[in-house]
Structure 1
């Protein structure tokens, strides 16, 4: 009986959050209502794309960063978005796709209406070293130039392993400092800055013009980070309940070139957590 009442209470709270925050304004702490990353709703999208879009819009969220087309063509997905007054501002693809299918990537991104093309993983079988960092820089500059020539902006989404120490900083510093800022921008995933022991707010202040996108998320209390670039998805928690100092990070982000903020929640219970995360952001 207690379990049933608890489930009902959570459901009522989520529905209240949906109703209140569908019309919320986020001007004080964010530049606009945050979007969401499609991976947050990956299980729901895999079952029913139109219904999932409807559920996301019911939260007041209309901006999605897609990193999967979920069995649709780019044109089909764009039609579904347009019918709901929703947009895709960033298109996430694999490193291999940029190496071998960049023309297809550009075509799909333009059909979706995306401004940014993002990659979130550098293929590697060992910890990052200088040789890999140098190859990454060369690839990123090439990707970025090609995309810019076609009206798109390339962004790299950090994933933790780039923060191994190198010289007076980290390999992430090396990548930022050696890529052409005209061609290469970055999407900060704040969890994957914090997890390897870095300060997201300090990194934003260090490179205010290089970050254009942000994944807003939180890490379960007690989790100890490392340079692996991985943690169980259950360690993604509702914003404001974990380890990250979100007010400090988001305040620093307002002074950068970040254009779009996206909530990313990899937890299997993300659909329950996202409304509560929106409530937290509204309350800041």
Structure 2
């Protein structure tokens, strides 16, 4: 049994800040490019059909020496080699999908290609049921689907995805529809939308929602919990692992990291080991070209150019090693593909050597709704387990994720309800090894313990296959009891601090003992569980003291604070390089809170004053430990 560590989400310190200015080369393999390693584990290989959009749409994108695909003529006998009717597009799809299967692919990833059914187009010669039949004809499984994340259309899209038998349903973008990651608030809104979409898809018989990166997701960076993070790091840490997955496009991430060695992308996958469930295996040249690190928001245009897999610059060996036990589907994609270059990509992509392994395919399963208290044996659904790999599959145990050990394959995600399901009979799958393409059945029962509740759990098939393939989603809804209408709303985490003040103490008088004072108006808004306002001097030069070239005043700037309605000022305290506490809040603020901050500079009668301007920049921070 293999274990996957799960990175727990931690809520540290979220902060808003305001600044106040006081004035050697190895020999290539015999037949395969060395950087492609042993390719992708058989059974987990997929292809993004966007690579062949020209061929699908109008018969173009053939290249110089394309494979000979047999395209059936239209019903009237005319050629469908270049026709754009639904009939001709589907004839070309049929030929293309046959070629995929002949080259060892078990899975495909869809995009919104011409003549793809609309969400509501279930029946008919070009509906979802017919599309599923075409995939079944060639032994292909739809592992994912790049499409819209429009919330109003989501139920219809999930219903279509269920007919296809999708494991994951997502988008070719890096965020939810309507958001663009151009602000911290946009990232938080996107995370909330994704959680809602993923919860619905999982609870309705499809896998999690997923998003897909280009370079923007890594170029945009914001402060989160006191740490500068990329947009995707924030989104991963703010979404629910049960409902939201991430698809790393390893070429665009390598381009964003300016790293063709594959180590930076591998490190990202290792950091978020339980969240990266899909990958685009794409190669290309000019990785990181035209990148200007001084201008990251908005991100720069990139110079990377996709190519056939194995003919670019990216070293996939560390990336594929990091994906083992974590990434379930690897989709080969080439934005510039022709049918000619497809031959090269698929040849270098298909698993060989150590990548010739078994793979478990078990589709998300929905159980009939029954009343709470129904025994598992009275509500059984047989779940098909198929070995889509090239080596025999040895299943040693089938159980529900049900423990709290994060390093164990059976780790139970928060919110899962394994107690509402039971493995009734798994003997047929444990009796003998499954040959490639063979199937067995495990009987699982739904036995809800709560009335009118949507239950979700994962069935874990422990075997000699890759861990990433061995989790099967289960969902069931118990029958209604008394009518209930959950209502509510969301509040984003807000920490807002604005400062308004003069930026000068005026003119210091030599040989005169005097205090020079000014005030700062602070406007504070917080929705956090607690908050604290502090001030410090981040400078390494004479912390807390105003400086004028190499000269510094002998006494630090002092600070106090008063707040309505009492307006009683606190005692002055010296500012230093460590935070000085000004105000604390034990809960959210009631709207905007105003406070008056007093700043004082004491000048002694014997103070040495050098002509010029004394200045320092202080940092005021509104932070929380309970976002």
Both proteins in one fold, TM over 0.5? yes
In 2, distance between residues paired with 1:110 and 1:81? 14
Task: Report the Cα distance in structure 2 between the residues aligned to 1:125 and 1:112, rounded to whole angstroms.
Answer: 28
Counterpart position of 1:92: 146
TM superposition score normalised by structure 1: 0.80
SS in 2 for 1:93: coil
Task: Say yes or no: does 1:145 pair with 2:199.
Answer: yes
For the pair shown, the structure with the greater C-alpha radius of gyration is: 2
Deviation of 1:139 (Å): 0.6
CA contact (8 A) 1:65 1:92 kept: yes
Determine the structure 2 residue equivalent to 1:6: none
Corresponding residue of 2:274: 209
The 3 A distance-change label for structure 1 pair 42 and 197 is same
Secondary structure at the counterpart of residue 202 of structure 2? helix
Compute the TM-score of the two structures, normalised by the length of structure 2.
0.38
Secondary structure of 1:79's partner? Answer: helix
Is the Cα–Cα contact under 8 Å of residues 36 and 262 in structure 1 kept in the other structure? yes
- Where do 5+ consecutive residues of structure 1 fail to align? 1-16, 18-25
Correspondence for 2:156: 104
Check 1:272–1:218 CA distance in 2 against 1; reply closer, same or farther (3 A cut). same
Residues 266 and 69 (structure 1), Cα distance of their counterparts in 2 relative to 1, 3 Å cut: closer
| Structure 1 residue 229: Cα displacement | 9.0
Q: 1:213 Cα shift?
A: 0.9
2:104 corresponding residue in structure 1: 60
The partner residue of 1:165 within 195, 214, 221 is 221
RMSD: 2.7
Residue 43 of structure 1 is matched in structure 2 by 54
8 Å contact from structure 1 (residues 128, 162) kept in 2:
no
Contact map agreement 2:56 2:113 (CA 8 A) in 1: no
Correspondences of 1:1-284 after superposition (within 5 Å): 29-33=39-43, 34-47=45-58, 48-68=92-112, 70-71=114-115, 72-96=126-150, 99-121=151-173, 122=175, 128-152=182-206, 153-163=208-218, 164-167=220-223, 168-197=228-257, 199-221=264-286, 224=289, 235-256=305-326, 258-269=327-338, 271-281=339-349, 282=351
Give, in whole Å, the separation in 1 of the partners of 2:313 and 2:189: 34
Deviations 1:50-78 (A, max 9, x none): 22222322322231111225314222211
SS at match of 1:35: strand
Per mean C-alpha deviation after superposition, the further-off stretch among 165-174 and 102-111 is 165-174
Residues 225 and 140 (structure 1), Cα distance of their counterparts in 2 relative to 1, 3 Å cut? farther
Structure 2 portions without partners, runs of 5+? 1-30, 59-91, 116-125, 259-263, 354-627
